[in-house]
């Protein structure tokens, strides 16, 4: 039996579909897990090498260099200035997502609200603290029960939805009225595709949202997507200095430190916008190619899926996510079932853009050749 009543790891259930897709004579097109495949930019790799002579332990709080770079990144996004005391590097964003409730004092008997269509780690984070996770519609805070902590995810994984400034303000006001904390996972913020999201994905700590007061608010961000640094485990927390100080004290005891060379590489990646724009263009082309292909098969990308690394795909006559997974697998394409992301996500599949141009093109051609309902 797993400790703390944790569920089975969901991706294990995808093994039969992966085996079927891998049997395709032209090989598998794995569009299930959103892991970057494009090269890490040379200047970031060089920065890592330059800082590789690092015999001393790194500081949990991070170097001043990386914290200054984090603040610069926040300024470009229109986020409130929280000062050096309000930012730290983290060992990837998943680690921060999973442990922040426990670090911030959430305990058994408490309640943590999570998006009803969501990355499973928000639910796991509540369980690791012994709390009760409750799925909610992020656009309707007036319907929420009381809670100690709320997870926000914008742009959303898996559905690619983006919360507007008014919607984020409503969440912040709900939390302030109850003394609840809000943790906003914004790791896909650089990847907006439609409408205002092309130029702007607003942050929970946007000055228009929080009125320049970060109290009770933390934003998480990852360089994995914008800079192809998933293997570096390079991410950050940005927010209320009092909460960050509490997190730092726990991390000191737990030895959660970002390696010094990675911190230096992060500091350069965070202030360089050109490589982010180049990577976004790669994903834009892949996204457009896949959308054109799925539409020929009678499938559709959700109208609210306007940012991030995934298509959120459904068919008007198919309500079973696993049926869609099987149809894709017959073409040698592996996708993730909506069932992994909550009850409200059933009937969809998540299709990742994180495959090489060659594999994206192969997947698109297979879908187009198969025709409606995949033949």
Same domain membership, residue 313 and residue 267: no
| C-beta neighbour count of 192 within 10 angstroms | 20
The string over 85-106, giving b where at least 16 C-beta atoms fall within 10 Å of a residue's C-beta and e elsewhere, is: ebbbbbbbbbbbbbbbbbbbeb
Overall domain count for the chain: 2
What integer pLDDT is reported at residue 26 of this predicted model?
95
Residue ranges making up the domain that contains 135: 54-272
Do residues 297 and 360 both lie within one domain?
A: yes
On whether residue 194 sits in a domain, the answer given is: yes
pLDDT class for 263, splitting at 50, 70, 90?
very high
Instruction: Mark whether 263 and 317 lie in a shared domain.
Output: no
Give φ, ψ of 32 to 5 degrees.
Answer: -95, -60
The three-class DSSP label of residue 351 is: strand
pLDDT the model gives residue 75: 96
Q: Are 204 and 210 in contact (CB under 8 A)?
A: yes
The confidence score (pLDDT) of residue 159 equals 96
For residue 308, pLDDT over 80 is answered with yes
- Work out the percent of the chain whose per-residue pLDDT is above 70: 98
Token digits for 356? 């090489």
Verify that 152 and 265 share a domain, yes or no: yes
**Do residues 250 and 321 share a domain?**
no
Per-residue pLDDT tens over the stretch 122-135: 999 999 999 999 99
Q: Are residues 239 and 342 in the same domain?
A: no
Q: For residue 29, what pLDDT band results from cuts at 50, 70 and 90?
A: very high
What mean pLDDT, rounded, does the chain reach? 95
Query: Taking 70 as the threshold, does the pLDDT of residue 2 lie above it?
Result: no
> Is residue 46 domain-resident?
no
Is position 157 within any domain? Answer: yes
Statement: residue 375 has pLDDT above 90: no
Quick check: helix, strand or coil at residue 187?
A: coil
> Residue range 130-149: average pLDDT?
97
3-state SS, residue 236: strand
Peptide bond before residue 354 is cis, with ω within 30 degrees of 0: no
Is pLDDT at 373 greater than 90 in this prediction? no
Quickly state the pLDDT bin for 10 (edges 50, 70, 90).
confident
Same domain membership, residue 93 and residue 105: yes
Instruction: Place 371 in a pLDDT band, splitting at 50, 70 and 90.
Output: confident
Specify whether 15 is located in the same domain as 83. no
Listed residue (155, 160, 153) closest to 136, CA to CA: 153
142: CATH? 3.40.640.10
Same domain, 60 and 176: yes
124-153: b or e for each residue (b if 16 or more CB lie within 10 Å)?
bbbbbbebebbbbebeebeebeebbbbbbb
Residue 269, CA atoms < 13 Å, CB-side half-sphere: 30
Asked if residue 44 belongs to a domain, the reply is no
pLDDT tens-digit map of 80-135: 999 999 999 999 999 999 999 999 999 999 999 999 999 999 999 999 999 999 99
pLDDT greater than 60 at residue 3: no
pTM here is: 0.94
Q: Are residues 268 and 282 in the same domain?
A: no
pLDDT (tens digit per residue) in 52-91 = 999 999 999 999 999 999 999 999 999 999 999 999 999 9
> Is residue 312 domain-shared with residue 164, that is, in the same domain?
no
């Amino acid at each position: 039996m797993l400790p703390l009543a944790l569920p089975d790891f969901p991706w294990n259930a995808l093994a039969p579909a992966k085996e079927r897709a891998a049997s395709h004579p032209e090989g598998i097109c794995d569009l299930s897990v959103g892991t970057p495949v494009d090269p890490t930019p040379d200047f970031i790799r060089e920065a890592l090498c330059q800082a590789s002579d690092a015999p001393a332990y790194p500081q949990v709080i991070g170097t001043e260099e990386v914290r200054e770079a984090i603040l610069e990144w926040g300024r470009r996004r229109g986020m409130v200035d929280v000062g050096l005391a309000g930012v730290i590097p983290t060992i990837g964003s998943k680690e921060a997502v999973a442990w922040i409730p426990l670090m911030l004092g959430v305990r058994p008997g408490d309640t943590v609200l999570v998006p009803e269509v969501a990355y499973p780690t928000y639910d796991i984070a509540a369980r690791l603290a012994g709390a009760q996770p409750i799925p909610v519609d992020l656009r309707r805070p007036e319907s929420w029960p009381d809670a100690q902590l709320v997870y926000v995810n914008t742009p959303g994984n898996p559905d690619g939805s983006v919360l507007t400034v008014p919607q984020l303000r409503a969440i912040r006001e709900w939390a302030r009225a109850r003394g609840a904390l809000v943790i906003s996972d914004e790791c896909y913020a650089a990847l907006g595709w439609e409408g205002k999201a092309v130029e702007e994905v607003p942050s929970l700590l946007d000055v228009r949202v929080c009125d320049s007061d970060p109290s009770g608010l933390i934003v998480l961000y990852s360089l994995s997507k914008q800079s192809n640094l998933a293997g570096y485990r390079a991410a950050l927390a940005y927010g209320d200095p009092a909460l960050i100080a509490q997190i730092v004290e726990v991390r000191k005891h737990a030895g959660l430190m970002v390696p010094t060379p990675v911190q230096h590489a992060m500091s350069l990646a965070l202030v360089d916008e050109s490589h982010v724009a180049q990577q976004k263009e790669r994903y834009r082309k892949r996204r457009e190619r896949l959308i054109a292909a799925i539409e020929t098969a009678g499938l559709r990308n959700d109208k609210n899926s306007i940012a991030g690394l995934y298509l959120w795909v459904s068919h008007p006559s198919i309500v079973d996510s696993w049926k869609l997974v099987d149809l894709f697998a017959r073409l040698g394409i592996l996708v993730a079932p909506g069932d992994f992301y909550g009850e409200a996500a059933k009937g969809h599949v998540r299709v990742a853009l994180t495959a090489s141009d060659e594999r994206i093109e192969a997947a698109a051609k297979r879908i187009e050749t198969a025709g409606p309902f995949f033949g």
